[in-house]
Amino acid sequence: MTMTIHVDIVSAETELYSGVAEMVFVPGKMGELGIAPRHTPLVTTLKPGLVRLELPENKEESFFVSGGILEIQPHVVTILSDSAARTEDMDEAAVLKAKEEAEHAFENRGDDIDFEHVQQQMVEARAKYEALQKLRGR
């Protein structure tokens, strides 16, 4: 039997996933992290992007997170995301539209708006779209 690690993915609104995985890939602030069981304890913040789980029996699940915090204990991985979605539930057209709107809002920004907020939204929307593209492309 292969070794597994327990994974919990929660967002502020709901619990998305709780179960075991053989390998976990997350978009860390400093770059993508691959987490195998018995990883050393680590804490990092997350970038918007794709969280991929390799489950036993060659299954896979993936989630989109818009940022958050990752904690690794040797046998438990906890992802506290600001908001997250199962990629299967994501609608490609809606994501593309959101991305275009965010880019549009960013390009046509006036002086009176919150620059950081708009930029953050655009980055998030882009990451979401790219994550989805990557997944569909495979």
Interface positions with another protein (CB under 8 A)? 8, 10-15, 28-30, 40-45, 69, 71, 73, 78, 80
Provide, rounded to whole angstroms, the least separation between the CB of residue 29 and another protein.
6
Q: Cβ of residue 77: shortest distance to another protein, in angstroms?
A: 11
Q: What is the largest CA-CA distance in the chain?
A: 59
Residue 2, CA distances (Å) to 39, 50, 55, 99 in order: 15, 24, 11, 40
Cβ nearer to another protein, comparing 1 with 30: 30
- Choose between 54 and 71: whose C-beta lies nearer to another protein: 71
Pick the closer one to another protein by CB: 11 or 87: 11
Least Å distance, CB 18 to another protein, is 8
- Residue 45's CB is within 10 A of a number of other CB atoms, namely 12
Q: 79 — phi, psi (to 5°)? A: -115, 115
Cβ(126)–Cβ(133) below 8 Å: no
> Minimum CB separation from another protein for residue 137, in Å?
28
